[in-house]
Chain A
Amino acid sequence: MKINNPAKAGSLESNDIFVMVFPNENGNEIELESIVIKQFGKRIREVIEETLKELNVENAKIIAKDRGALDYTIKARVETAIRRAM
């Protein structure tokens, strides 16, 4: 999937994650901010990367601000943002 426009999904509410997607030139790039970055930062990145892979996204910049979202929410918000960016 090709990212054509900037797009966003999610919120800064507790248990949610706010995801912004931008077109990028050299592969995928993830900028993550989280209230649980020390405990779960690695896992959140993995979930974002997995979702990008599933959607065949190769050139996107993701800025994510996490408020304690579970995996199912991270995946849903990333997918929503990507589909909105197409």
Chain B
Amino acid sequence: MKLRRTMLFMPGNNPGMIQNASILGADSVILDLEDAVSIDEKDAARMLVRNALSTLDFSGCEVVVRINSIQSDFGYDDLNVIARVKPDAILVPKATSDDIEEIDEILSIIEREEGFKLGSIKLFPLVETAIGLENIRETILASKRNIGVLLGAEDLTADMGIKRTREGNEIFYARNRVASICKAYKIDAIDTPFADVNDVEGLIEDTKRAKAIGMTGKAAINPRQIDYIHEVFSPSMEEIMYAKRVLKAKEEALKEGKGVFSLDGKMVDAPIIQRAENIILKAKLAGIIRE
């Protein structure tokens, strides 16, 4: 299990930001060759990100590269250059099942040529159109490389012709659909970034809403957003203490040969035990507890 509470977008043509990527605390960074790079600088960003990946030590921080759409003039060059320096994953904009299938095949060829383990470069489809949202199941099933889906609400609401608001009611369905399907296929559901970097309260509320319906992490567009998002997606001390008590009670019940047991007067069954185990695992991965 890899913790992806935050995926921080960084412009792919900004060397100062790229070389600091690993110290900002995000679980993953997304080096962006698409929207953050002007048409005239696509070649420069591609070479900079290629060199960064082959030279810099990202110290265990997952590195994902958002390429341009393979329907555009830049996508194939991005893929061919970037895959050869082995990013952890490729983020595929406006992904369709056809795009994902084609990218999967190209990656397999590059992995063979470069001597990388087959299937080692993962994929993240970006859902940011109505058709992308409705066809998300097929897109996920198009490749075993898919490890998560990122919801892009700005483009999605533009495609829908609806207004994006602070409260986010307009993406309630999209969030639920992404969260539910990702859970069904056991991959991560990453929520859309919160655009106003100065609105901390709004960010926290938005993150809580996403978490409440099953999103597993959230994209960030500014390093200042990381700690707030982590706080929402990390287990609280109260949750950890309760989870520890559940697991201890489970051990004692096993010793006594009990299948079902109670804690604080409430029956504890398999889903509660599983939730407790998940909380402890997440707390360990987040570095909140050691043992």
Contact = CB atoms under 8 A, between A and B. Distances in A.
B108 to A, nearest CB: 27
Nearest to A75: B51
A70 B43 contact: no
Central interface residue in B44, B50, B54, B56, by most chain A CB within 10 Å? B44
Interface string A53-86: 0000000000000000111110111011001100
A43 to B, nearest CB: 15
Contacts of B51: 72-73, 75-76
Nearest to A73: B15
Contacts of B52: 72
Contact of A15 (B15, B50, B54): B15
Interface magnitude class on chain A: 10 to 19
Given A15-B19, A71-B55, A76 B47 contact: yes
A28 to B, nearest CB: 20
Interface residues of B, number: 14
Given A72-B52, A73-B51, A76-B48, A84 B43 contact: yes
B51 to A, nearest CB: 4
B157 to A, nearest CB: 32
A24 B60 CA distance: 44
Central interface residue in B14, B15, B47, B56, by most chain A CB within 10 Å? B15
A79 B49 CA distance: 13
Nearest to A83: B43
B113 to A, nearest CB: 20
A9 B16 CA distance: 16
Nearest to B15: A73
Contact of A72 (B16, B43, B44, B56): B56
A14 interface: yes
B156 to A, nearest CB: 32
A63 to B, nearest CB: 17
B18 to A, nearest CB: 9
B47 A80 contact: yes
Contact of B44 (A13, A15, A76): A76
B115 to A, nearest CB: 21
Which 5 interchain pairs have the tightest Cβ spacing?
A: A15-B16, A72-B51, A73-B15, A72-B55, A76-B47
Interface of B: 14-16, 19, 43-44, 47-48, 50-52, 54-56
Interface of A: 9-10, 13-16, 69-73, 75-77, 79-80, 83-84
29 contacts: A9-B44, A10-B44, A13-B16, A15-B15, A15-B16, A15-B19, A69-B15, A70-B15, A71-B55, A72-B15, A72-B19, A72-B48, A72-B51, A72-B52, A72-B54, A72-B56, A73-B15, A73-B19, A73-B48, A73-B51, A76-B15, A76-B44, A76-B48, A76-B51, A79-B47, A80-B44, A80-B47, A83-B43, A84-B43
Given A16-B15, A69-B15, A76-B48, 13 more contacts: A14-B16, A16-B14, A16-B16, A70-B15, A70-B19, A71-B55, A72-B54, A73-B48, A76-B15, A76-B50, A77-B48, A80-B47, A83-B43
